[in-house]
Amino acid sequence: MISRFQIAYKNLLRKKMRTLLTLVGIMLSSWVLVSLLGFNRGYENALNRDIDNMGYQLMVMAKGCPYEAATMMLQGGTGLRYIARSMVDSIVDKPEVDRVTPILMQAFFDPNKGDGGGIAGYYGVDPATFPAMKPFLRFRQGGWFRDAQAAEAVMGYEAAELEQREVGDMILVPEKNVQLKVVGILERSGTQDDGTIFCPLKTLQGIAATDKITTIGIKVKKGADSAKLENALYQLPDVQVVSFTQVKQTIMKLIATARVMVLSIAIIALLIAMVGVVNTVLMSVLERMQEIGIMKTMGAMPGDIFRLVWTETLILCTCGGIAGIGLAFAFARLSDLLVRRVLPYAPGGNLVAIDMRLALLTMAVIVGVGLMSGIYPAWRAGRVRPLESIRREG
Amino acid sequence: MLLCLVLAAPVPAAVNCELNNPVNDVTRLFPESTSFKTAYFSFATRGGEPLLRKVESRLGGAPSLYAPLNVPYTLYEIYKGKKQIGYIHGVNQKGQFGVLEVFVSLDMAGTIRAFYIQRMAGQWARKFTSPRFGRQFVGLSIRDFERYDTVGGRGTGRVAAIENPAPEAATDFFGLLRAVKKNLVLMDEFFYSAER
């Protein structure tokens, strides 16, 4: 016995080109929809990962204009604003704080770098707290410092490549002419750590002749109220707080406008595809009035005709949806590249994250909206009066 | 925030050796030049692995931090009017405290016209970047360096006579000589041998 699906399938094949064009419309809208949903999720995941990879979500530094400080450093490494090491103690006891690490950033002028000289930047980090803050860093060679006051350095991947350094080689801190032994070279991480030269905090303090620090990195406890902690930190004298959560929110706001526009386009594409579905199925129904009339005279109930026509919609939406989702999977990498070209800031990793769960969700949306679109043509078909339709067609 | 970004911005990877300021540097290294063109070449496009092995063999077979086969080398072709009068080419070489970026300008016969250290770390760098040290390389060619032993640091003739201005920096001195030989061998393999 021939099934309802077989009849619906054959009906769709009667007008192949019309069916194909409708399928293409559904396929494209599914592609756009699943890619957009994948982007929403992928971008947020990637941004969160980037911020987690910073190792800390909050940074405390001395009050002052960062532009001015940057300019001063570029002109010769002077004029940095420092904070006292004791500031760490006043932060670490706060209930929202998970971990704290003190950092000293120093820039030294290297007259032998290029024609007019250049700046070499060093990060003094605490061997007891900094590596634990960044457990995701992997070493290509060697490891962290063995001693809190060792004359040693760990180089980011690109810094080592640029200077052609390997573990065991020496580097020379410009201006101060202090030699440091390279004890570790990091794997490429895709972050700013790649271009950084780390050395023990106390070593760098000794080189720079200061007992102060420039920055405190703070990792907030999971689920803790970051805003409350920020407010508490602002009460500390002469410091400013840079929150990566704020940075993240700012970036998310920046892309929100673009996301709304793309979402609107996706909805419009979906609507156009569904109008196509209505058109295809309705035309098919109108062309088959006589046939539907005959089916009714043979005992088919309005519900049977409704289900038959609705099945055509279901087949169209399912096939188009599967093809669109397949394309989204196949071209996810290309979509990723295109998105990267237009975004003001693109974090590392996959920006368009599509998985089976998302694919099934999109499929449900496409089929759901498609079936709703098919209600009217199916209803029209179901209420055909058999004798009238046979007489009219005759 | 900006401060962090300025300090922590990733530095460009050491993929090849380019002049920092080509317009000024070319004029300084080739005063009679009127224009130059920048060209790129790599082992991947000009002989691949066998050629790389040959170059390494000419350099004494010592292990060195060579760039991968597909990394492009930058070459400056120097013109006076429409006539090409020479080349400027630089290489990276491992030094005692960091990379050495060493350029030579060559006439069309492969003879060194000028020697230029673009980058070198160490308190004695000024002794090596002085004109006096650089002048010792002028007039030398691959023929002079052919018998220079880059591993033992021994040479003959004019190469052997090159004076180290900073005896405490022997590693850098031999690194510079190795850089010049590497530079000349690369130019010989890629251009002068092909033109002969």
Q: Does A73 fall in a domain?
A: no
Please check whether residue A83 touches B, CB under 8 A: no
Q: Would you call B34 helix, strand, or coil by DSSP? A: coil
Closest CA to B17 of B164, B179, B189, B127: B179
- The per-residue pLDDT for B2 is 36
Residue B27 near chain A (CB below 8 Å): no
CB contact under 8 A, B20 and A159: no
**In the structure, what pLDDT confidence band is assigned to residue A272 with cuts at 50, 70 and 90?**
confident
Asked whether residue A365 is domain-assigned, the answer is: yes
Considering the domain architecture, whether residues A104 and A192 belong to the same structural domain is answered as yes
Nearest CA in chain A to B120: A112
Residue B8 has its nearest CB partner, among A161, A174, A192, at A192
> What is the pLDDT, as a whole number, of residue B64?
54
Task: Name the DSSP letter for residue A193.
Answer: G
Q: How confident is the model at residue A392 (pLDDT cuts 50, 70, 90)?
A: low
A219 and A260 both lie in a single domain: no
Most confident option among A120-134, A180-194, B101-115: B101-115
Q: So what's the pLDDT on residue B62? A: 64
Q: Give the percent of chain A with pLDDT over 90.
A: 23
Look at residue A55 and tell me if it is in a domain.
no
Q: Where are the domains of chain B?
A: 2-195
CA distance readout (Å), A19 to A5, A245, A308: 16, 49, 16
Provide, as residue numbers in chain B, all residues whose Cβ is less than 8 Å from the Cβ of A174: 121
Based on the domain organization, do A110 and A200 belong to the same domain?
yes
Give the whole-angstrom CA distance, residue B164 versus residue B180. 14
The token pair that represents B7 in the structure block? 């300090």
Rounded to 5 degrees, φ, ψ at A386 are -55, -55
- The total number of residues shown for chain B amounts to 196
Residue B14's pLDDT is what?
39
Distances (CA, A) of B43 to A338, B52, B54, B146, B165: 32, 7, 11, 21, 34
Residue-averaged pLDDT of chain A? 83
Tell me which of A155-164, A296-305, B5-14 is least confident. Answer: B5-14
Q: A232 and A101: one domain?
A: yes
With vertex at residue A190, the alpha carbon angle to CA A184 and CA A194, rounded to the nearest 5 degrees, is 35
What is the rounded distance in angstroms from the CA atom of residue A360 to the CA atom of residue A22?
21
A185 and A215 Cβ atoms separated by less than 8 Å: no
Q: How many Å separate Cα B59 from the centre of its chain?
A: 13
Kindly list the residues from chain B whose CB atom is less than 8 angstroms away from the CB atom of residue A172: 97-98, 121-123
In the predicted structure, residue A394 carries a pLDDT above the cut 70: no
- Looking at the fold, whether A31 and A154 belong to one and the same domain comes out as no
Of residues A116 and A271, more confidently modeled: A271
B9 contacts A192? CB cut-off 8 A: yes
Indicate the residue type of A312: E
Residue A208: other Cβ atoms inside 10 A = 23
**B12 with A67: Cβ contact below 8 A:** no
CA dihedral A214, A219, A225, A231 (to 10 degrees): -10
Q: Is the pLDDT confidence value at B12 over 70?
A: no
Number of Cα atoms under 13 Å in the Cβ half of residue A347: 25
Most confident range, picked from A2-6, A116-120, A133-137, A138-142: A138-142
Tens digit of each residue's pLDDT (9 = 90 or more) over B97-137: 989 999 999 999 999 999 999 988 888 888 999 999 999 99
Residue A99, pLDDT > 80, answer yes
In this structure, what DSSP letter does residue A151 have? S
Chain A closest-CA separation from residue B157 CA (Å): 30
Predicted confidence at residue B79, as pLDDT, reads: 96
Q: pLDDT band at A220, cuts 50/70/90? A: confident
Question: Which residues are CB-neighbours of A270 under 8 A, at least 6 positions away?
Answer: A29, A33, A365, A366, A369
CA–CA distance, A378 with A30 (Å, rounded to integer): 23
pLDDT band at B144, cuts 50/70/90? very high
* A32 in Cβ contact with A265 (< 8 Å): yes
A17 assigned to some structural domain: yes
User: What is the rounded average pLDDT of the residues A88-102?
Assistant: 89
Q: Is A226 helix (H, G, I), strand (E, B) or coil?
A: helix
Segment B85-96 shows an average pLDDT of: 93
pTM of the model: 0.63
Task: From B69, B70, B107, select the one nearest B192 (Cα to Cα).
Answer: B107
Residues A278, A194 share a domain = no
pLDDT at residue A80 in the model? 59
* Chain B contact present for A114, CB below 8 A: yes
Write down the residue that tokens 């030398």 correspond to. B140
Write the pLDDT tens digit of every residue in A65-89: 555 555 544 444 455 578 888 888 8
Give bridge partners of residue A181 from the DSSP assignment: A152, A170
Q: Considering CB atoms only, which of A67, A105, A194 is closest to B10? A: A194
Euclidean distance between CA atoms A354 and A269, whole angstroms: 20
Question: Which site among B2, B4, B133, B176 would you substitute to test the A interface, given the most A Cβ atoms closer than 10 Å to its Cβ?
Answer: B4
Q: Is the dihedral of CA A244, A250, A254, A257 positive or negative?
A: positive
Question: Rounded to the nearest 5°, which phi and psi values hold at B161?
Answer: -85, -5
Rg (CA), chain B: 17
| Same domain, residue pair A93 and A45 | no
Greatest Cα pair distance, chain A, in angstroms, is 104
State residue A82's pLDDT score. Answer: 85
| Domain total in chain A | 2
Which pLDDT value is given to residue B127? 92
d(CA A126, CA A118): 26
Q: Which residue has the higher pLDDT, A318 or A249?
A: A318
Count CB atoms within 10 A of the CB of residue A231.
11
- Helix (H) / strand (E) containing B182: helix B170-187
Closest residue in B to A181 (Cα–Cα) = B97
Range ranked top by mean pLDDT from A244-253, A257-266, A367-376, B31-40: B31-40
Cβ <8 Å between A164 and B92: yes
| Boundary-marking domain end, from A237, A268, A292 | A237
Q: How far apart are CA B92 and CA B101, in angstroms?
A: 5
CA distance B188 to B92: 17
What is the C-alpha to C-alpha distance for residues A274 and A282, in angstroms, rounded to an integer? Answer: 12
Tell me whether residue A336 is in a domain: yes
Q: What is the mean pLDDT of residues A324-351?
A: 81
Q: Answer yes or no: is A266 within a domain.
A: yes
A213 touches chain B (CB under 8 A): no
B8 falls in which pLDDT band (50, 70, 90)?
Answer: very low
Asked if the Cβ–Cβ distance from A113 to B21 is below 8 Å, we say: no
Q: Identify the domain containing residue A28 by its residue range.
A: 4-49+251-393
Tokens at residue A335, please?
């979509």
* pLDDT at position A274: 84
Question: DSSP labels for B145-177?
Answer: HTT-BTTTTB--HHHHT---S-GGGHHHHHHHH
Quote the pLDDT of residue B10. Answer: 38
Identify which of A123, A170, A196 has the shortest CB distance to residue B96: A170
pLDDT score at B87: 96
Domain end residue (candidates: A205, A237, A269): A237
- Identify which of B3, B9, B120 has the shortest CB distance to residue A66: B3
